[in-house]
Structure formats: C-alpha cells, structure tokens
Amino acid sequence: MNTRALAKLYGLLTPWERLPLIVAAVERGDDAEADRLSRSAPRMHLALPDYHGLGDGLLLLSLFHVIGQLELGLQYWHTSVLAAQWEEFVDDEEDKARAERMWDCTHLAAYRLCVEADAWKRLCADLQIDPEALLRDLPCYDTLRRTEEAARPLAWAPEEATAQLRRLGAADAEAPTVEQAARAMRAFIDGRVAWWG
C-alpha cells in the first residue's frame, strides 16, 4: 500500500482513530509515522493560564511519584517477607546468608522509599504546597503512608546504603540522596513548564 497516498487522508481521522495509530507507530519505533499522524491533526486554539505548565508538571510528577513509591513499597514488603521466611526456616549457613542478603535488600528498599518520600516533602516545601495535598485523595494513599511508617525504622543511613551498593559490586557507587531526588523532581517540573511555554 502507498503510505504517502494514505497519509493524505490523515487529516480526516478523528481523535479516537488517530491516537491508537500514533501509539502503534511509537510502539513499533516508527517515529516518522507518529510525527506525520500528529502533525496532520487539526489544531485547537486554547487560552491557558500562566501556571498551566507548572500545574501539569506537578500533577504528572505526583502520579509518577506515587507509582514509584508503590514499586519501592512492594520491593520493601517482598524482601522483608522473604527475609523473615529464610530466617524462620534456617537449616544451614547458606539459608542464614540468604536471609541476611534479603534483609540487606529490605534495608536498601526502605532507604530508597524514604529518600523519595523526603524528596517529595522537600520539593513541596520549596513550592509552598502541602506535600499531602496532591496525594491524600488517591486510593493508595493510606497504604503508602503505612508502608513509609513501617520502612522508616529499617532504612539505612546514606553511608550504609552506599556501602551496601559498593558491596554489591559497583566500587564507586553512591546511594541517591534526598537532595538529588528533589533536584530530579524539580527538573521534571521545569521540563513540563518549558514544554508548555
């Protein structure tokens, strides 16, 4: 089929027809086709408030933050259960070593979860926004809050997390810090502001 002839009809597509085609083109790595489909769409002219990019960035970041925290929370709970199981059924030194490795993973997951939670709080403080305001109405909010409360006592200090990462093989590894995570969050928001600007 002649794709150029077909591309001439792209302007007639509805949004419900166009978007699946764009997603399919991106999925197969055909950026040129995705671009043609996108550029052929009729344009809408809107007036947006000057804070729209910031609001969009903060909303997207809050959703990505929650998804990331859910992932880290699952890692925390999974490794802590495995560690407890290995401890309970220790038969030999190999089982004891497995349990210790799982506890190390638990401490590391707790560290990462707490770093991200603290970075979110720091970012929100810098923006003069209640850190719970964008999270408390999400269905997973209570689960995240309880997971953070459970993980915090087991979270390593940054030096301990760095030492563990280095024991795992990366001699120059550094554990992520609250400051680094907060900067990355701010950079994401700044990117969305620039995109809308």
Helix (H) or strand (E) holding 20: helix 15-27
pLDDT at 136: 94
DSSP string, 117-182: HHHHHHHHHHTT--TTTTTTTSTTHHHHHHHHHHHGGGPPPHHHHHHHHHHTT-TT-----HHHHH
Q: So what's the pLDDT on residue 2? A: 55
> Average pLDDT of 132-158?
95
Report whether pLDDT(8) > 80: no
Q: 177 Cβ partners below 8 Å, 6+ apart?
A: 115, 158
- In this prediction, residue 169 carries a pLDDT of 81
Residue 33 pLDDT exceeds 80: yes
